[in-house]
Structure formats: C-alpha cells, structure tokens
C-alpha cells in the first residue's frame, strides 16, 4: 500500500489474511472518506467489520509514520469514519 504519490507515507500492516489484504488494497486506493464509507456499506457484516478494523489499523500505522502532528491531525480528521 503506497500513497507516496499523494504525499502520504507508505504503511505496512502485518497479519492480514488474503481477503483482508484485498480489502486493505481496495480501501487504500480510494480517494476520500466518502468512497471508503460507501464501499464498506456494500459489504456483508463480517467483511464490514474487517474493513472498519483495517481502516483503524491504517490510521494507527499512518500515525506511526508521520513526523508532523499537525499533518497527522489533518489527515486523520479527513479519513475518520
């Protein structure tokens, strides 16, 4: 998952199974919170829970990679579900 083209750091999430990695890649490729939310709503309940957890893991991984607190806060506000 690499969003360096959008000035977002690359993040890595360990321990995902194949289906969860696919969900993570799909979510990471989306441009905004609205797309992510709309996508998650289309999923069956178990996949929806996995996707929501993946988003939370992405946010936490992103926080670990960002040097500037202001930058992190700005991005987190934009993508919180």
Domain assignment of residue 1, yes or no: no
Per-residue pLDDT, 17? 96
The answer to whether 17 touches 25, Cβ cutoff 8 Å, is: no
Domain assignment of residue 49, yes or no: yes
Domain assignment of residue 42, yes or no: yes
* Containing structural domain, residue 73: 16-79
Domain assignment of residue 50, yes or no: yes
Domain assignment of residue 33, yes or no: yes
Q: How many domains does the chain have?
A: 1
| Mean pLDDT value across residues 43-63 | 93
Domain assignment of residue 20, yes or no: yes
pTM, two decimals, is 0.72
Domain assignment of residue 11, yes or no: no
Distance, in Å, from the CA atom of 17 to the CA atom of 70, rounded to the nearest integer, reads 33
Domain assignment of residue 9, yes or no: no
Better-predicted residue by pLDDT, 35 or 10: 35
């Amino acid at each position: 998952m690499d969003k360096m083209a959008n000035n977002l750091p690359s993040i890595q999430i360990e321990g995902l199974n194949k289906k969860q990695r696919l969900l993570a890649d799909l979510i990471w490729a989306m441009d905004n919170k609205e797309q992510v939310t709309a996508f998650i709503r289309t999923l069956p309940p178990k996949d929806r829970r996995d996707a929501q957890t993946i988003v939370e893991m992405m946010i936490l991984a992103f926080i670990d990679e960002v040097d500037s607190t202001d930058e992190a806060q700005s991005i987190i506000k934009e993508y919180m579900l």
